[in-house]
Amino acid sequence: MTQPSGRYNLMELMVCVASRQLEDGRTAVIGTGMPLAAAMLAQKTTAPHLVVMFEAGSAAPELVKLPISVADSYTLTRAILHSSMDEIMESCQRGMVDYTFLGGAQIDMYGNLNTTMIGTDYEQPKVRLPGSGGANDLASFCWKTLVITPHDKRRFVERLDFLTTPGYLTGPGAREQAGLPPGGGPYKVITTLALMGYDPLTKRMIVESLHPGVTKQDVIDNTGFEMLFVDPLPVTREPTEEELRILREEVDPEGVIIGK
């Protein structure tokens, strides 16, 4: 695997790729870090009418500066709603939220996530992780779940040590059998190696494009399960000069997310 072009780094590439997944006029519950940078970039480029919502209770603020958390005062600037987590989660339950971004210590081929523990003994795990927070609710009731994560075998596993957040569970029809709304579920996974989606028939993760300099073997070597690939397999579109300018000058001028 070669390094990205000298024009940009991996963080910038991932943020740009993530921003392109968000459609104009849609709603999205956004967490901090790369998802927030991606949402801000989308608003300033291809999705000016994207409605950003925060778990702490804000909806549709004017994001004049990159917030450092979902409860940062910058998530409230000229927002149409200053409320609580109850209002945001109720909006998800009512089917009003299109996108959410999540992460996790482990993800499997069906997009299920583990943010609870590493190990086989719940009472005495090797590592105790932060837990679900609102992730289970968001993945259950938002229509499309996106994940941004590094790509290695420790994260992309055949079997989760603990199922915290549902993806497609065990495959086609499993979400609906569990009582979750039909039509929702995992949507995209943006990693340091590739952009993945999900096969509509099997619900398994499938590589939709390889990042510049990445080979198919790189993905195979860094994935703990059999990954599917589209054919032909394209290369991820690189960030444009305008995307990079906005990202560096307007979204994250201090380099908190993308680095300096």
Instruction: Express each pLDDT in 222-242 by its tens digit.
Output: 999 999 999 999 999 999 999
What is the domain extent for residue 133?
A: 10-251
Domain tally, the chain: 1
Q: For helices 10-19 and 34-44, what crossing angle results, to 10°?
A: 60
Instruction: Express each pLDDT in 13-51 by its tens digit.
Output: 999 999 999 999 999 999 889 999 999 999 999 999 999
Residues whose CB falls within 8 Å of the CB of residue 37, separated by 6 or more in sequence, listed in order: 15, 66, 247, 251, 252, 257, 258
Residue count of the chain, please give it. 260
CATH at 164: 3.40.1080.10
Active site (catalytic) residues: 55
Instruction: Specify if 260 maps to a domain.
Output: no
Instruction: Express each pLDDT in 70-93 by its tens digit.
Output: 889 999 999 999 999 999 999 999
Instruction: Specify if 162 maps to a domain.
Output: yes
Cβ atoms 109, 157 nearer than 8 A = no
Instruction: Specify if 198 maps to a domain.
Output: yes
Cβ atoms 58, 76 nearer than 8 A = yes
| Tokens 């990042």, located at residue | 211
What predicted TM-score, i.e. pTM, was given to this entire model? 0.95
Instruction: Specify if 259 maps to a domain.
Output: no
